[in-house]
Amino acid sequence: MKELLEKLVGVFGPTGREEKVARTIEEEIAPYVDDIRRDSVGNLIAFKKGSGGKKIMLAAHMDEIGVVVSHIDENGFCRVKPVGYVLTATLVGSRVKFENGAIGVFWAEDPDWKLWQRPTTLPDWDKWFLDVGATSKEDSPVKVGDFAAFYPVFHDLGNRLVAQSFDDRAGCAVLVEVAKQVKNPVNDIYFVFTIQEEIGLKGAIVSAYNVSPDIGIAVDVTLTGDVPKAYPMAVSLGKGAAIKVADSEMIAHVGVRNALVKTAEENGIPYQMEVLAGGSTDAAAIQLSKGGVPTGAVSIPSRYVHTKAEMVDFRDVEASVELLKAFVSKPVEL
Ligand code: CO
Ligand code: ZN
């Protein structure tokens, strides 16, 4: 499964440009599902028929944070608008990669911001520019409207893995793996790979409406409290799949949450309870779809979320696969 993770984090897919991710996932998952389709906005929806249980929607978002070129000056420097929550603290000397392979390097124009004086503040977004190796508008390899994501990386540190887009390619990999491994489930399973989560759960809003599930579960990363002087949070790398209790946009349906806990305990799958102070997932949109959907979330703990080096523990990824596999296979009572 590490190969699948490495493959998925390497695919170009900033928010708004998820086509390549959808194509890659479609190839991986198609042999294992009964139906697969793309909806009108680009969500990828794979379906596996059950023997007569509930309709369960599992959702993971395909997009990763990135930037879009908004202006190119006469010397070829690009101004960009972030897509998703890109922290300026991650930009110094960062590289981004465009769909056509062009590379951009970030720097900021602020004359008061001098590296040799050890700056304590960071310039605002409008001061940052991308150097794409051009000397003019004419010889620039990119155009206004082109999207880029952080330069793709993948490092295997043993149990710990590092990549720029585990948010949420780790979740996508979990769904693909569940689809591959589940045999004769009782429930109908919809594996939904959503677009544009990072700018407001767009893909989840429309796909949940169309799928109209009995139960929704988002699979995404969550933060941890296990680094020096971290904000207190009872989630750590390597301690198992995180079952969401609440985050800043939702409270998980207590029946779904309890069913996930019961499944983990009955199958000896390591898990931890997640209460996230800031941030949310596609689950917040699924929950409010149509007349309301009992919804929960399974989270993969990750350090350094929304940086160029997000870190997860492979064992937590595997635990998430095991938990969801067991959950969707058997009858669910809420
Ligand atoms: Co995110
Ligand atoms: Zn995410």
Please give the distance, rounded to the nearest whole angstrom, from the Cα atom of residue 117 to the centre of ligand 2. 36
Residue numbers of the chain with a pLDDT score lower than 70? none
> Is the same domain home to 110 and 208?
no
Please give the distance, rounded to the nearest whole angstrom, from the Cα atom of residue 15 to the centre of ligand 2. 11
Please give the distance, rounded to the nearest whole angstrom, from the Cα atom of residue 305 to the centre of ligand 2. 9
pLDDT tens for 103-139 read 999 999 887 777 778 778 888 899 999 999 999 999 9
pLDDT tens for 24-57 read 999 999 999 999 999 999 999 999 999 999 999 9
The pLDDT, as a whole number, for residue 36 is 98
Domain containing 203 — which CATH number?
Answer: 3.40.630.10
Range of the domain at 146: 66-150
Tally of domains within the chain: 2
> Is the same domain home to 241 and 301?
yes
Domain end call among 99, 125, 150? 150
The pLDDT, as a whole number, for residue 118 is 78
Q: Is 197 a catalytic residue?
A: yes
Please give the distance, rounded to the nearest whole angstrom, from the Cα atom of residue 204 to the centre of ligand 2. 12
> Is the same domain home to 44 and 110?
no
The pLDDT, as a whole number, for residue 257 is 98
Which listed residue (28, 197, 198, 322) is catalytic?
197
The pLDDT, as a whole number, for residue 115 is 75
- 188 within a domain of the structure (yes/no): yes
Please give the distance, rounded to the nearest whole angstrom, from the Cα atom of residue 280 to the centre of ligand 1. 8
> Is the same domain home to 311 and 186?
yes
> Is the same domain home to 10 and 140?
no
> Is the same domain home to 272 and 252?
yes
Please give the distance, rounded to the nearest whole angstrom, from the Cα atom of residue 64 to the centre of ligand 1. 7
Please name which ligand lies nearest the alpha carbon of 199: 1
The pLDDT, as a whole number, for residue 290 is 96
Q: What is the 3-state secondary structure (H, E, C) of the chain?
A: CHHHHHHHHCCCCECCCCHHHHHHHHHHHHHHCCEEEECCCCCEEEEECCCCCCEEEEEEECCECEEEEEEECCCCEEEEEEECCCCHHHCCCCEEEECCCCEEEEEECCCCCCHHHCCCCCCCHHHEEEECCCCCCCCCCCCCCCEEEECCCEEECCCEEEECCHHHHHHHHHHHHHHHHCCCCCCEEEEEEECCCCCCCHHHHHHHHHHCCCEEEEEEEECCCCCCCCCCCCCCCCCCEEEEEECCCCECCHHHHHHHHHHHHHCCCCEEEEECCCCCCCHHHHHCCCCCCCEEEEEEEEECCCCCCEEEEHHHHHHHHHHHHHHHHCCCCC
Please name which ligand lies nearest the alpha carbon of 299: 2
Domain containing 75 — which CATH number?
Answer: 2.40.30.40
Please name which ligand lies nearest the alpha carbon of 307: 1
The pLDDT, as a whole number, for residue 116 is 79
The pLDDT, as a whole number, for residue 215 is 98
Please name which ligand lies nearest the alpha carbon of 198: 1
